Amino acid sequence: MNEVVLEARHISKSFHDPVTLPILKDISFTIKKGEFVSITGKSGCGKSTLLYILSTMDTDYDGELFIEQENMKGKTENQLAYVRNAKIGFVFQFHYLIHEFTVIENVMLPGLKLGAHSEEEVRQRAIDQLRALDIHMLANKKANLISGGEKQRVAIARALINSPSIVLCDEPTGNLDKANSEVVFKIFKHLTRERQQTILVVTHDQEFAANTHRIIEMEDGKIVQK
């Protein structure tokens, strides 16, 4: 339980457009296995920016990022793609699904990409995942034909397909109504409790944050309270 899954060491970032403006200032924290952590803060304080860095998609920052004790600095684009595929799961505010694919194909895609299991196994895992989120009856629907709440659950299933070390979410409930937000929250809670899944959520929803294990409060690009 004390294994460190993610560690940020003195991460800083500035945007230079139009003038150089520091957005993140010396951010350091660690997240241990099985933790359910939320990041909150005012709009524009740099939460999303931080999350993109943690996700390895943004490599333009100072400081160091460790995922499972591995330094992400200096890795090639291909190596980072592998890390995202195998170790990180993503859930965005705007449930990004690939519309050409069916629900099950969307969920299977990272699994097929990883190639650790046969297509049949990946399909089985995807079905299990969908069933756990209670949306298995949507499996063969086109991804653009389901509701927002359903899409968000599909996105969660997709994030979990490769059993990632950590799931990163940027306002996963920001676009959902109260009922659906609660469903998503329960899913996260369940995942952390039953499967020791590590989850980091950026959220505006104070109630949501209050129910997580730990809140990281940000202000003007700095952590003010852990």
Partner 1 sequence: MKAGVILKVAGKLLFARWKQTLIAAIGVTFSITMFIALLSFMVGLNELLDNMILNRIPHIRLYNEVMPSQHQPITLSKVHQRRYNFIRSVKSVASRQYIYNSIAIQNALQVDDRIKGIAPKISAQVFFHDGPIDITGVVEGIDIEKEQNLFHFREYIISGEPENLNTVGNSIILGKSLADKLQVSTGDVVRVTTASGTHFVMKLVGIFQSGLQDIDKIQSYTSLATARKILNKPNDYITDLQLQIKNIDDAAILSKEFSERFGTKTDDIKTSNAQFETGSFIRSLISYSVGITLLIVAGFGIYNILNMLIYEKMDTIAILKAIGFSGTNIKSIFLIIGLSIGLFGGSLGLLFGFLFSSLIDLIPFHTASLPTITTYPVSYNPIFYVIAISFSLITTYLAGWAPSRKASKVDPVLIIRGK
Ligand X SMILES: Nc1ncnc2c1ncn2[C@@H]1O[C@H](COP(=O)(O)OP(=O)(O)OP(=O)(O)O)[C@@H](O)[C@H]1O
Q: Which of 22, 66, 24 is nearest to 49 (CA)?
A: 24
Nearer to ligand X, 50 or 67 (CB): 50
Residues that bind partner 1 (CB under 8 A): 48, 52, 55, 57-58, 77-78, 81-86, 90, 92-94, 96-101, 109-110, 112-115, 119, 158
23 makes contact, choosing from ligand X, partner 1, Mg ion, none, with CB < 5 to 8 Å by partner type, with ligand X
Q: Quick one: which of 4, 22, 23, 86 contacts ligand X (CB under 6 A)?
A: 23
Contact predicate 19/27, CB 8 Å = no
| Residue 14 C-beta-side C-alpha neighbours within 13 Å | 6
Residues binding ligand X: what is the number (CB under 6 A)? Answer: 10
The residues pairing with 66 across neighbouring beta strands, listed in sequence order, are 7, 71
Q: Give yes or no for residue 44 binding ligand X (CB under 6 A).
A: yes
Least distance (Å) between residue 137 CB and partner 1: 23
Least distance (Å) between residue 13 CB and ligand X: 9
Q: What are phi and psi of 181, to 5 degrees?
A: -60, -40
CA distance 224 to 33: 23
3-state SS, residue 13: strand
Lookup: tokens for 60: 């333009």
Lookup: tokens for 137: 């009856």
Nearer to ligand X, 15 or 96 (CB): 15
46-85 residues in contact with ligand X (CB under 6 A) are 46-49
Q: Give yes or no for residue 48 binding Mg ion (CB under 5 A).
A: yes
Residues in contact with ligand X by CB under 6 A are 15, 17, 23, 43-49
